């Protein structure tokens, strides 16, 4: 169960990070658009225990490239 939650959380954080950067490119004059990439980068680094966003993104991409964990049947 923990693996599935972590997998979904990391893939969601990676998606948010990418969307934040896409939004910044669409509207570079907006102050909010500048803050969101920093916030999502911080979250991704914390989730993965990394200090460098490039390493965190690489680790998240590696994790998200794996097949989805299979659910266990209820006991």
Q: Identify the pLDDT of residue 75.
A: 58
Q: Identify the pLDDT of residue 1.
A: 37
Alpha-carbon torsion (41, 43, 48, 51), positive or negative? positive
Distance CA 40, CA 53 (A): 10
41 three-class SS:
helix
Q: Identify the pLDDT of residue 46.
A: 92
Q: Identify the pLDDT of residue 72.
A: 63
Number of domains making up the chain: 1
CB 39 within 8 A of CB 1: no
In a domain, 73, yes or no: no
In a domain, 71, yes or no: no
Per-position DSSP letters for 5-26, written without gaps between them? HHHHHHHHHHHHHHHHHHHHHH
List the pLDDT tens digit at each of the 75 positions of the chain: 355 658 888 899 999 999 999 999 999 998 888 899 999 999 999 999 999 999 999 999 988 887 766 666 565
In a domain, 74, yes or no: no
Q: Domain containing 9: what range?
A: 2-65
CB 56 within 8 A of CB 45: yes
């Amino acid at each position: 169960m923990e693996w599935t939650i972590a997998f979904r959380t990391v893939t969601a954080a990676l998606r948010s990070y990418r969307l934040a950067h896409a939004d910044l490119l669409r509207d570079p004059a907006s102050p909010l658009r500048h803050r969101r990439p920093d916030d999502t980068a911080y979250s991704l680094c914390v989730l993965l225990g990394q200090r460098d966003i490039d390493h965190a993104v690489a680790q998240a991409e590696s994790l998200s490239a794996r097949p989805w964990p299979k659910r266990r049947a209820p006991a």
